[in-house]
Structure 1
Amino acid sequence: MRRRWCVTGGAGFIGSHFVERLLADEDTAEVVAYDNLSNTTTRWIEPLLTDPRLSFVHADILDTGRLAGELTGWSAADVVVHLASSVDMRRGYHDRGLDLRQCADGTLSVLNAMRETGPRTVLFASSSTVYGDPLVLPTPESAGPYAPISMYGAGKLAAEALLSAFCHLDGFTAHAFRFGNVVGARMNHGVIHDFIEKLGDREDRLHILGDGRQRKNYFLVEECVDGILTASGLLGEGFHVLNLGNAGTVSVDEIAAVVIEEMGLTGVKQVHEGGTRGWPGDVPVVEYDLARLHALGWSARTDCLSAVRICARRLLAERGWRRP
């Protein structure tokens, strides 16, 4: 079935990869990449615009009327992929309304635009941060109570609640994918990106937030997109949440070692600061129970540590880095 797709945050890190994947499918009739460019530029989407099926809309998801206009005439079978969000959870510590505007209000705007027009299916980028400091490791989707310790996590959890309500009130289908740490080319944030930036400025010293023992799961962006598309075809109608990530974890110190090695540096002094958390709201351990995901027949092909190394190589290649 040929579908039309709207990807909010479509010019960003995950969004541009998602658009690229959709355009590689002959059954894709049309793709609208919708982005206000607050966290990115058009760099990654511009090469894709040679495909006549793709249109780029520079607008904010909080502009419900504009988004509804882009979706007018779409059918119930068409899909909204809702990726637009803040990308730096640390900003929410200083601006306590940021993540509620971008996650909760933004999701409500997307759902209202869909309700006015045609699409009835939304695939949502949620996060491990909804769990807060998990009481169970590895953490299943049923772990509770959900007690976010950051405004970012609170915003994502509020968005999930809105999705559930619209599913029950309006017959929507919403699949909320609780991402692990997605990594790969085109990243402009995150620990791997930050380490490369810091070492690019000063090669003899690396400042590390936290004690270096924080450990989380990491998986490649193209595998994230594949997981979403595969699982969304199997989860069925209504509201579903699903952990999406990799088995196992990698520590921050292990990531530092990989980046230093890939940059060809030696004698780098590592300075830790901040205790067990890198910053207020940081969750030190993110380890997923992926039983439900694996039962659907999907798992990441690349392990956590390999994903980190591949990401580092891709980011360094984008910068034209040459090993000393």
Structure 2
Amino acid sequence: MKKLSSIFFILIGLLLIASMPVLAEEAVQGQPAATAVTTAVPVAPAVAAVPTAAPEKSVVQQALDTVKNLQVGIDTTWVLITAFLVFFMNLGFGMVESGLCRAKNTVNILAKNFIVFAIASAAFWVIGWGLMFGNGNPFVGLEGLLFASGADNSPAIGDAYKGVYAAINWTGVPMWAKFFFQLVFAGTAATVVSGAVAERIKFVSFIVFSFFLVGILYPVTGHWIWGGGFLASLGMFDFAGSTVVHSVGGWAALAGVLMLGARYGKYRADGSVRPIFGHNMSTATLGAFVLWFGWFGFNPGSTMGVGDGSAIAHIAVTTNPAAAMAILSSTVVSWLI
């Protein structure tokens, strides 16, 4: 009996196993058929025509531009270095003046030499540069007057220059390099006066005078020659400022001396001269060497460009013998008198 029941259950199991594929097929057939999905492929919009880029510069043109920029950089460096040398001359003036004057006036003299360039910087920037180099008439500049703010496209030169400072478009350096070089020249003109009126002018009076000199007098007379004024049209040429800087400074100093008179104690009661000796010859001598050194910026730097270097070398060699002969001649005269 047990065997029969076992055989029965085995047969039932085999029947179930045999029927499973049929049931699975019916289940699949009973499901809804999958619908085909079609996806629309977007059509790319028409692309607008892209303009072709400008043709690149040729290798030769790029090389020429590089050389031009390098030349501007070299000339600018030269102009600024020589301007720094001229600025350094302020130390020389201060040492010479203080050393050759009495000790009690040293502080006043050094203070005047210290502040004179500050006053010159302000005056020349505010109004002096425009009066001197601005386009105008034969007597004064009228364009780009205040704060050196006129139109300018330096370092362009000649016909390529489009600005209001055409009188100084002969040098291919940036405008601010031109400005700084001319500024130290203007400051020198005021410093010349400082030595002439040493020990005889009030500090505040000297400040006012220096501003008026650098802001008005020096630029106006400078315009006559360097600014394309009437003296330039007559053919006057001043390379490094023997007239524009030193003559103007000298005449201003003479006017100051005539107005102020002699130093206190210079003359005795009977009218005879009482010598006033300097108090520090070491300071005066060192100051003279500083000035000698500064002249190698003043004169060669007036080329405002390097070029092939021959002009710079010639000017330097001319400057040095001039100083040397001045020392030798003054030594001989001191022996004879």
> Into which bin does the TM-score normalised by the smaller protein fall?
under 0.3
Answer 1 or 2: which has greater helix percent.
2
TM-score by length of 2: 0.25
Between structures 1 and 2, the one with greater strand share: 1
Larger radius of gyration: 2
Task: Select the structure with the greater relative contact order (CA < 8 A; seq sep ≥ 6).
Answer: 2
Relative to the length of structure 1, the TM-score reads 0.26
